[in-house]
């Protein structure tokens, strides 16, 4: 495959950027011509940010799986689409060629149909990182069902909430999942999530760990039985095929839940055409992907990074994507480097938290590892500190591999701001320049464009985007008004990212982190209100306030101030009880790192918690807590400050 939209020089970047802004319809129409459409769109773009209404390639007919699979079969049937590395390095690797991927996705599409799934139905996927997860996702896309993948670390309660919100009718899961030394009993968690559920009709269970599972007659079916049967149905004269459903570019492709500043996660909805074009375009350009390169994105498909840069982006480009079941530190901290060596990985894309964690093991795990295949390194998910950036550059890239620092969000579908490997300049811990089609603007609290530079010569403000790019979210599932309020109402006619940023004299952006009540723990988004709600579910808790604080490995840690009124246990036992409560309500990723018991919280006379003060205390900035005169009881601040842990 050739990618006619691939940017090959800095000069071309500037030209393409200008074209994309001057004539977005002409520019993106040309890019979209690189994909397979059964029928061309009626109009490239129609939009306003007030409703918001955003339509890309409307009237265009396609199926994303024909783009990710079928169109590669003529020339690349035997080429690896997915290389799967098991949790246990002694277990056999699985190489899924495009031909095999086609067969399995067709089979699974038939399985879905056999079980009553129809176009537009919501299918929840709760699986470990096995190739079958890719078959499930793409099988849904093939028949036009809307997939909603839930990360394996979420609890039964979180799944139940998402099933309800999406009114999901089907679930695809595994008996269990391997992650490092742990086995996670996925099916059993699903069973708990289904207590009281009224919408789910069928649960399809893939066997991975072969732990005992309960199988309910009429509801639960085995993946293997269903796949075998489907194979006999769709094989005709030795040819396996299952026709892909014809979809409109603006039909929804998937829902992915993500945290915001309110208590309830939102179901971000992406539609097919724009998302496909955006992930394909950014994949090829940011990583400067060449045919035959081996791309290893270490994310989990439960997050947007896995959707866009393990599956859809690489596959639509006819790429080879490594999918890893395990974790970077098991059986030892050399695991990523073993994988790079084993598959001659060319592009490694990971999170700053993983880099910091691996840094803490020193250079020993890198000894004798051949990393010479690497050409490009990438990071995503949180700001990368300069120390980690340089460690990555020196020890992994050996100063020969450009590092792309890709800034984006679940809502943006793919990368919005990043350097392009070897094409546009890199700057340690700066995401640098916007992708073509992305028009950032920095505003102050009142929505006025920031024009005054700070003492370092930077513009500093809240990061917004002026116009839609093809991969922008279309709505939040079942509640369009929520989408408007969350993203398009803070500043009129702008998409508000929730992030703060700096801009230097070259027009480079540095993302400084969230300016709303969203935490970024190891690159995972968690709302403070969500964690507070979970803590408050504990019977002994009267009230709580949660803030983030700098954490050496995770980037941010969770600090909870808790008013407690129970009698059971000592402080440590209470902390453990609270942590377990949070694990049950949200999942272990949201467990507080620190819990401080307090007798009161700093509140204004109108009852609002002054988080600014709590944040400063948690960050250890106790010398200057600012003005506390607006507080109902300034004395409580002294108590909290002195009790800091």
Q: For residue 403, what are the β-bridge partners?
A: 377
Q: Which stretch binds ligand WTA (CB under 6 A): 40-48, 324-332, 401-409, 605-613?
A: 401-409
CA 177 to chain centroid:
19
Closest CB 31 distance from ligand WTA, rounded Å:
21
Among 157, 285, 316, 406, binds ligand WTA (CB under 6 A): 406
Q: Which residue is nearest to ligand WTA (CB)?
A: 410
Instruction: Give the chain's radius of gyration (CA, Å).
Output: 24
Nearer to ligand WTA, 139 or 381 (CB): 381
Closest CB 406 distance from ligand WTA, rounded Å:
5
Nearer to ligand WTA, 205 or 297 (CB): 297
Q: For residue 236, what are the β-bridge partners?
A: 239
Residue 300 binds ligand WTA, judged by CB under 6 A: no
Among 279, 409, 432, 462, binds ligand WTA (CB under 6 A): 409
Among 158, 169, 258, 475, binds ligand WTA (CB under 6 A): 258
Burial class (CB in 10 A: 0-12, 13-18, 19+), 642: exposed
> What 8-state DSSP symbol labels residue 210?
-
Q: Which residues ranging from 439 to 458 are in contact with ligand WTA (CB under 6 A)? A: none
What character string, x for contact with ligand WTA (CB under 6 A) and - otherwise, covers 347-386?
---------------------------------xxxx---
Q: Give CA–CA dist 93/84, Å, rounded.
A: 6
Any idea what the Cα angle at residue 346 is, between residues 345 and 349, rounded to 5°? 85
Report which of 553, 96, 155, 33 is spatially closest to residue 320, judged by C-alpha positions: 96
20 contacts: CB under 8 Å, gap ≥ 6:
27, 28, 436, 437
Closest CB 525 distance from ligand WTA, rounded Å:
5
Nearer to ligand WTA, 40 or 482 (CB): 482
Among 158, 350, 410, 419, binds ligand WTA (CB under 6 A): 410
Closest CB 513 distance from ligand WTA, rounded Å:
6
Nearer to ligand WTA, 183 or 516 (CB): 516
Which pairs count as long-range contacts for 515-519, CB under 8 Å and 24+ apart, including other chains? 515/462, 516/260, 516/261, 517/261, 517/611, 518/259, 518/260, 518/261, 519/546, 519/548, 519/556, 519/558
Residue 636 binds ligand WTA, judged by CB under 6 A: no
Q: Which stretch binds ligand WTA (CB under 6 A): 136-144, 209-217, 385-393, 407-415?
A: 407-415
Q: For residue 28, what are the β-bridge partners?
A: none
Tokens 């992650």 label which residue? 179
Closest CB 336 distance from ligand WTA, rounded Å:
19
Residue 318 binds ligand WTA, judged by CB under 6 A: no
Residue 220 binds ligand WTA, judged by CB under 6 A: no
Closest CB 121 distance from ligand WTA, rounded Å:
25
The answer to whether the beta carbons of residues 618 and 610 sit under 8 Å apart is no
Nearer to ligand WTA, 289 or 496 (CB): 496
Closest CB 510 distance from ligand WTA, rounded Å:
8
Nearer to ligand WTA, 80 or 302 (CB): 302
Among 520, 522, 528, 596, binds ligand WTA (CB under 6 A): 520
Burial class (CB in 10 A: 0-12, 13-18, 19+), 314: buried
Strands (E), 98-215: 122-126, 146-149, 170-174, 177-179, 182-184, 202-206
Residue 325 binds ligand WTA, judged by CB under 6 A: no
What character string, x for contact with ligand WTA (CB under 6 A) and - otherwise, covers 522-551?
---x--------------------------
Residue 405 binds ligand WTA, judged by CB under 6 A: yes
Give the number of other CB atoms < 10 A from CB of residue 241: 12
Among 220, 393, 499, 517, binds ligand WTA (CB under 6 A): 499
Among 288, 305, 419, 486, binds ligand WTA (CB under 6 A): 305
Residue 109 three-state SS = helix
Q: Which stretch binds ligand WTA (CB under 6 A): 235-243, 328-336, 406-414, 476-484?
A: 406-414
Among 287, 407, 477, 509, binds ligand WTA (CB under 6 A): 407
Nearer to ligand WTA, 143 or 521 (CB): 521
* Helix or strand (DSSP H, E) at 612: helix 611-618
- Going 131 to 135 to 137 to 138, the CA torsion angle's sign is positive
Name the token pair of 315: 């596959």
Nearer to ligand WTA, 111 or 403 (CB): 403
Closest CB 286 distance from ligand WTA, rounded Å:
11
Residue 436 binds ligand WTA, judged by CB under 6 A: no
Nearer to ligand WTA, 242 or 303 (CB): 303
The answer to whether the beta carbons of residues 151 and 174 sit under 8 Å apart is no
Which residue blocks in 362-461 are alpha helix, DSSP H? 386-391
Compute CA distances 386 → 278, 320, 609, whole Å. Answer: 29, 30, 34
Give the number of other CB atoms < 10 A from CB of residue 305: 24
Residue 275 binds ligand WTA, judged by CB under 6 A: no
Residue 432 binds ligand WTA, judged by CB under 6 A: no
Closest CB 385 distance from ligand WTA, rounded Å:
11
Residue 517 binds ligand WTA, judged by CB under 6 A: no
What character string, x for contact with ligand WTA (CB under 6 A) and - otherwise, covers 106-135?
------------------------------
Region of 147 on the Ramachandran plot (φ > 0 left; ψ -120 to 50 alpha; else beta): beta
Among 80, 144, 434, 498, binds ligand WTA (CB under 6 A): 498
Any idea what the Cα angle at residue 161 is, between residues 158 and 166, rounded to 5°? 125
Report which of 523, 502, 497 is spatially closest to residue 432, judged by C-alpha positions: 502
Residues making contact with ligand WTA (CB under 6 A):
258, 303-305, 380-383, 405-410, 431, 497-499, 511, 513-514, 520, 525
């Amino acid at each position: 495959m050739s990618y006619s939209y691939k940017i090959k020089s800095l000069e071309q970047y500037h030209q393409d950027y200008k074209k994309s802004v001057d004539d977005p319809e002409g520019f993106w129409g040309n890019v979209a011509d690189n994909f397979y459409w059964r029928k061309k769109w009626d109009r490239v773009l129609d939009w306003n940010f007030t409703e918001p209404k955003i339509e890309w390639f409307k009237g265009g007919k396609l199926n994303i799986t024909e783009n990710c699979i079928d169109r590669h079969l003529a020339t690349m049937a035997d080429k690896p689409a997915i290389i799967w590395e098991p949790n246990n390095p002694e277990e056999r690797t699985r190489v899924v060629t495009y031909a095999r991927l086609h067969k399995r996705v067709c089979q699974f599409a038939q399985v879905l149909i056999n079980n009553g799934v129809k176009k537009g139905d919501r299918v929840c996927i709760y699986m470990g990182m096995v190739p079958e997860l890719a078959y499930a996702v793409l099988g849904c896309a093939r028949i036009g069902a809307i997939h909603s993948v839930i990360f394996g670390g979420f609890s039964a309660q979180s799944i139940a909430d998402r099933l309800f919100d999406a009114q999901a009718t089907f679930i695809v899961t595994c008996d269990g999942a391997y992650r490092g030394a742990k086995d996670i009993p996925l099916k059993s968690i699903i069973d708990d999530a289904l207590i009281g559920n009224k919408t789910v009709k069928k649960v399809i269970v893939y066997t991975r760990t072969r732990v005992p599972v309960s199988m309910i007659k009429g509801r639960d079916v085995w993946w293997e039985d269903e796949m075998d049967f489907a194979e006999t149905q769709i094989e005709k004269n030795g040819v396996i095929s299952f026709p892909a459903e014809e979809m409109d570019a603006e039909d929804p492709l998937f829902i992915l839940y993500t945290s915001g500043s309110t208590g309830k996660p939102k179901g971000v909805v992406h539609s097919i055409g724009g998302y496909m074009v955006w992930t394909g375009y950014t994949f090829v350009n940011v990583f400067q992907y060449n045919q035959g390169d081996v791309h290893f994105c270490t994310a989990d498909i439960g997050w947007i990074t896995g959707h866009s840069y393990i599956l859809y982006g690489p596959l639509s480009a006819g790429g080879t994507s490594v999918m890893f079941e395990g974790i970077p530190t098991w059986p030892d901290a050399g695991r990523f480097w073993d994988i790079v060596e084993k598959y001659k990985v060319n592009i490694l894309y990971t999170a700053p938290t993983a880099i910091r964690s691996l840094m803490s093991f020193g250079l020993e795990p890198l000894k004798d590892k051949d990393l010479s295949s690497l050409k490009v390194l990438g990071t995503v998910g949180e700001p990368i500190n300069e120390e980690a950036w340089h460690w990555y550059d020196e020890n992994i890239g050996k100063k020969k591999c450009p590092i792309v620092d890709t800034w984006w969000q679940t809502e943006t579908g793919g990368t919005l701001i990043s350097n392009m490997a070897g094409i546009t300049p890199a700057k340690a811990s700066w995401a640098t320049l916007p992708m073509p089609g992305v028009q950032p603007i920095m505003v102050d609290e009142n929505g006025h464009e920031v024009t005054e530079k700070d003492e370092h010569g930077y513009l500093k403000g809240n990061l917004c985007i002026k116009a839609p790019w093809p991969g922008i979210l279309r709505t939040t599932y079942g509640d369009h008004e929520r989408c408007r309020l969350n993203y398009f109402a803070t500043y009129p006619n702008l998409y508000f990212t929730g992030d703060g940023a700096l801009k230097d004299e070259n027009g480079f952006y540095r993302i400084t982190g969230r300016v709303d009540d969203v935490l970024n723990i190891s690159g995972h988004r968690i709302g403070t209100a969500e964690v507070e709600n979970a803590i408050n579910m504990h019977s002994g808790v009267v009230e709580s306030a949660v803030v983030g604080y700098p954490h050496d490995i995770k980037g941010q840690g969770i600090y909870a101030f808790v008013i407690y009124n129970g009698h059971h246990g000592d402080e440590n036992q209470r902390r453990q009880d609270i942590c377990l409560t949070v694990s049950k309500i949200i999942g272990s990723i949201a467990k507080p790192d620190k819990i401080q018991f307090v007798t009161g919280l700093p509140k204004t006379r109108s009852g609002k918690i002054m988080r600014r003060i709590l944040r400063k205390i948690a960050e250890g900035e106790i010398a200057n807590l600012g003005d506390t005169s607006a507080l109902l009881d300034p004395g409580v601040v002294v108590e909290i400050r002195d009790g800091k842990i």
